[in-house]
Amino acid sequence: MIILGIDPGSRFLGYGVISVHAGLMKPIDFGVLKFDAEIPLSERLQSIGQGVRQLMEKYKPQHVSLEKIFLGKNADSAFKMGHARGVIIYEALLAQAEIFEYATRVVKKGITGSGSAEKEHVRAVVTNLLKIGPVKSLDASDALAMACFHASQLRVIQIKKRLERSAV
């Protein structure tokens, strides 16, 4: 199975692609898509869509693990992130990938043991978990954390699906 983890944003979009086979995670690719803050949001959203479409076409993930929206100190940033998430979800659905959304605190807790872990701690755990060299971008390491956390949830997801089918 291929999982694409995404740390969404309207200026920086972190992505991390991993494969999972027999419970073992293997890194495939990670990075950041960057968008010019000087261009109108509508144009950035189009670029986000094009970038995510390229990721979907290149890696063909079955699952997309996406950070849930949160309202921080800046409502404007949250709204822009919401628009970006909408474009990401749309592109993932067009590619027939299943979408799974997780709160940042839940992912941090699942990866590091603490929901309030610093981004640098998440990065250190993820690079150790995947046995990869340094990941310069915190957006990319957050996206890898999304993918790794989702991989750890696959067994639970499969059990839930079986239970739902048997209840029908």
Judging by DSSP bridges, how do beta strands 2-7 and 12-21 pair with one another? antiparallel
The answer to whether 76 is a known catalytic residue is no
The answer to whether 57 is a known catalytic residue is no
Among 7, 38, 43, 142, the active-site one is 7
Among 29, 38, 67, 118, the active-site one is 67
The answer to whether 36 is a known catalytic residue is no
Among 76, 101, 120, 139, the active-site one is 139
Beta-carbon contacts of 97 under 8 Å, excluding residues fewer than 6 positions away, are 4, 56, 61, 62, 63, 64
Q: Which residues are catalytic?
A: 7, 67, 139
